[in-house]
């Protein structure tokens, strides 16, 4: 047996030297001519023990994709190659790739893109063949500066690769050419719904099991049941890699954050009438609106959900998004006249509530923020960790009102936001500026949990200054229409994404707060394959929402399709976070809480043409979906901040809103007796009309002190 290991070792080192280190075709062709007799003997022995026949290309395929691989093999055989396809489960396939024997049983392998960081060194360098593969119509996938596979035409999340220890590189490359005839998954027609395949798992629409649990959580639980052995308590880090990969991808697509080695997921328990009958940690304190955030290890998810009954609803947390794409703006809104009069915001307290204040210390060192800022973190991750969006927002407030007391408050979801309002009220806050947008929390009509949180602040006398959003070109709104009766919305919405770019899509319909009208969301890639879907079953207790989060695996045009599984015809509102949509509908593109009556909602005009317009093309437009005019006014954006490179220039309504908050601080410092309603009225009275009220509101803000008003 020891001598056997010696022969395998000799062969392994020879093949690795000839194939893995150089990647040159000439070396591959000569490798076995130079091999010693002992190596050739080992090769013969390996073949006798089960390796592929000499000259035959062995293909390790995922069992769910067997038909596509066999179709490619048939084309290759017709061209004179010898090919054998062997299907594997996801776990078995990973073992064939990662724990490959010194003499490869297989040459070509189906490799999900999520495995690439782990198995890249097991894959041959195909860079010398790149031009020929592209000429065959194949899309290349690179990692670590080398081509390691071709994207499978029938699915965008997996590659055709060649194992580095294969002795049949040339034959295997010839086989890859035959993948160039696509066997794509056609776009659904005549009511057919295409299930989504992620690795070895096929995601079907899950029937409601517990009416008091969000359908996305039940979908994740169904995947856990498929990939985790029955009765095994799951720590994510202890699972085989294919299972980890599938669970992580499904959770990510559904917008479920999975944290730590145990795979903890964050959930929100929403009280619905009466005291929650669910046993939870005493550290998980409910917010004033009855929202409780809990973390549940993946292995305990099923037992946790089994406790959920009437009186509560367990759902995913709402995740806000920054509203900046980025000070000259301080002068444009009239700050200079206040400063000249000695009014700099002293006595005013302004809270910036945001997702992160990275670079805070550097900003203070530059003098862009004062050393006196007060910070509060409700996420437990550190106020200066994460993104620097909040830092850029705070710098603008400080430019306009340099003596105002700034509070930098970090949140991550609506439970944090509710606690942040309690804190702000206790601190006697005068103004809150909020440059975040919240999606799928209502039908953008000023109702829902985020609106309720805003009203807690405004009822306490705090002026809430809100960015309108940057979604004029990233919103689609329509009434569901199905002219041919196939179950699909007549209009396909498209977006263009670059490979590696995140894609986040939200859709809701006018059936809040719970509904039995059931709609589903599908995203198809450039090749026509289904790449993501959200198929909650709305059965009467579910919120009317679907969303997908994924990463573009290829550059091109993606199609968003909407399917009605059952129920009434509804108005739809769809948002894309990172890509423009076609067609886009600018009307009613203001996300929550810019739709709240009590919020002072701010659109954006580029500072270089602030006095003439036009409105920034991305600035969200009104009216709200229930017909109220919004935004309330506009302020400058595209201004310079010290937060580079991401927020200088600082574009978007994220930059416009803090200009208004700064002016509000100046007005409060000038007239401390101003209440929230009178402060709001004073700000709107200082606006100069510019046209369309659903774009500009009352117009551009040009503030003046009372002495010169």
- Check whether residue 328 and residue 461 sit in a common domain: yes
- Check whether residue 522 and residue 426 sit in a common domain: no
CA distances from 388 to 115, 325, 353, 392, 600 (A): 31, 13, 12, 7, 24
| CATH code of 545's domain | 2.60.120.380
- The residue with greater pLDDT, 331 or 278, is 331
Distance CA 88, CA 96 (A): 9
DSSP bridge pairs for 633:
602
Per the domain annotation, does 190 fall within a domain?
Answer: no
Per the domain annotation, does 23 fall within a domain?
Answer: no
Tally of domains within the chain: 4
On the question of pLDDT at 276 being above 70, the answer is no
Q: What pLDDT shows up at residue 48?
A: 36
Q: pLDDT-based confidence at 299, cuts 50/70/90?
A: confident
Q: pLDDT-based confidence at 334, cuts 50/70/90?
A: confident
Q: What pLDDT shows up at residue 12?
A: 34
- Check whether residue 522 and residue 572 sit in a common domain: yes
Q: pLDDT-based confidence at 137, cuts 50/70/90?
A: confident
pLDDT digits (tens, 9 = 90+) for 37-47: 433 333 333 33
- Check whether residue 610 and residue 547 sit in a common domain: no
Q: What is the residue-averaged pLDDT of the chain?
A: 84
| CATH code of 448's domain | 3.40.50.200
Per the domain annotation, does 642 fall within a domain?
Answer: yes
- Check whether residue 381 and residue 428 sit in a common domain: yes
The region of weakest confidence among 113-127, 282-296, 412-426, 548-562 is 282-296
Per the domain annotation, does 556 fall within a domain?
Answer: yes
- Check whether residue 133 and residue 118 sit in a common domain: yes
Mapping DSSP onto H, E and C, the string for 481-523 reads CCCCCCCECCCCEEEEECCCCEEEEEEEECCCCCECCEEEEEE
Q: What pLDDT shows up at residue 32?
A: 32
Per the domain annotation, does 5 fall within a domain?
Answer: no
DSSP class of residue 124 equals -
Closest by CA position to 653, among listed 439, 432, 471, 469: 469
> Residue 115 belongs to what domain range?
47-180
Provide φ and ψ at 542, rounded to 5°: -85, 145
Per the domain annotation, does 564 fall within a domain?
Answer: yes
Strand 196-198 relative to strand 158-162, pairing: unpaired
Q: What pLDDT shows up at residue 208?
A: 78
């Amino acid at each position: 047996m020891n001598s056997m290991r010696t022969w395998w070792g000799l062969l392994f080192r020879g093949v690795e030297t000839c194939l893995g280190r150089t990647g040159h075709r000439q070396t591959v062709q000569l490798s076995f001519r130079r091999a010693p007799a002992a190596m050739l003997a080992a090769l013969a022995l390996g073949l006798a023990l089960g390796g592929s026949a000499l000259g035959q290309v062995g293909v390790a395929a995922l069992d769910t994709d067997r038909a596509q691989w066999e179709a490619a093999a048939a084309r290759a055989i017709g061209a004179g190659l010898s090919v054998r396809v062997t299907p594997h489960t996801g776990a078995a396939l990973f073992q064939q790739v990662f724990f490959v024997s010194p003499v490869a049983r297989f040459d070509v392998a189906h490799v999900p893109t999520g495995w690439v960081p782990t198995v890249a060194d097991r894959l041959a360098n195909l860079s010398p063949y790149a031009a020929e593969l592209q000429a065959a119509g194949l899309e290349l996938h690179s990692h670590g500066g080398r081509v390691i596979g071709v994207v499978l035409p029938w699915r965008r999340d997996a590659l055709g690769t060649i194992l580095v220890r294969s002795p049949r590189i040339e034959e295997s490359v010839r086989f890859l050419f035959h993948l160039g005839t696509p066997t794509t998954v056609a776009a659904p027609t005549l009511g057919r719904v295409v299930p989504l395949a992620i690795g070895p798992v096929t995601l079907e629409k899950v029937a409601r099991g517990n009416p008091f649990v969000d359908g996305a959580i039940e979908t994740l639980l169904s995947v856990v049941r498929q990939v985790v052995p029955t009765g095994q308590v799951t720590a994510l880090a202890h699972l085989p890699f294919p299972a980890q990969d599938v669970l992580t991808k499904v959770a990510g697509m559904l917008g479920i954050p999975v944290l730590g080695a145990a795979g903890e997921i964050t959930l929100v328990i929403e009280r619905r009438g009466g005291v929650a009958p669910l046993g939870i940690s005493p550290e998980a304190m409910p917010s004033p609106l009855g929202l409780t955030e809990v973390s549940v290890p993946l292995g305990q998810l099923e037992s946790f959900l089994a406790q959920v009954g009437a009186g509560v609803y367990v759902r995913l947390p709402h995740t806000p998004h920054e509203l900046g794409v980025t000070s000259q703006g301080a002068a444009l809104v009239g700050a200079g006249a206040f400063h000249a009069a000695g009014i700099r915001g002293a006595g005013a307290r302004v809270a910036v509530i945001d997702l992160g204040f990275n670079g805070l210390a550097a900003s203070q060192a530059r003098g862009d923020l004062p050393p006196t800022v007060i910070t509060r973190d409700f996420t437990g991750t550190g106020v200066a960790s994460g993104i620097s969006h909040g830092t850029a927002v705070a710098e603008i407030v400080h430019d306009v009102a340099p003596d105002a007391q700034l509070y930098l408050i970090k949140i991550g979801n609506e439970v944090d936001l509710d606690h942040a309002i309690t804190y702000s009220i206790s601190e006697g806050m005068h103004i809150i500026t909020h440059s975040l947008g919240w999606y799928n929390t209502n039908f953008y009509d000023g109702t829902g949990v985020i609106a309720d949180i805003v009203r807690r602040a405004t009822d306490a006398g705090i002026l809430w200054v809100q960015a309108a959003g940057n979604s004029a070109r990233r919103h689609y709104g329509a009434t569901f229409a199905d002219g041919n009766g196939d179950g699909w919305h007549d209009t396909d919405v498209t977006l263009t994404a670059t490979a590696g770019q995140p894609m986040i899509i939200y859709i809701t319909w006018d059936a809040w707060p719970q509904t039995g009208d059931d709609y589903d969301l599908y995203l198809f890639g450039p090749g026509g394959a289904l790449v993501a879907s959200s198929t909650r079953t709305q059965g009467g207790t579910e919120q009317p929402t679907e969303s997908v989060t994924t990463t573009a695996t290829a550059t091109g045009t993606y199609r968003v399709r909407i399917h009605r599984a059952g129920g009434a015809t509804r108005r739809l509102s769809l948002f894309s976070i990172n890509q423009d949509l076609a067609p886009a509908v600018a009307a009613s593109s203001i996300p929550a809480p810019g739709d709240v009556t009590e919020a002072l909602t701010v659109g954006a005009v580029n500072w270089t043409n602030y006095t003439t317009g036009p409105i920034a093309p991305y600035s969200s437009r009104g009216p709200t979906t229930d017909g109220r005019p919004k935004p309330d006014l506009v302020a400058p954006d595209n201004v310079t901040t010290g937060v580079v490179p991401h927020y200088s220039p600082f574009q978007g309504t994220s930059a416009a809103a803090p200009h208004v908050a700064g002016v509000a601080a100046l007005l409060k410092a000038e007239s401390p007796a101003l209440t929230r309603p009178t402060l709001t009225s004073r700000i709107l009275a200082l606006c100069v009309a510019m046209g369309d009220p659903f774009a500009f509101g009352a117009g551009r803000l040009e503030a003046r002190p009372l002495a010169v008003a």
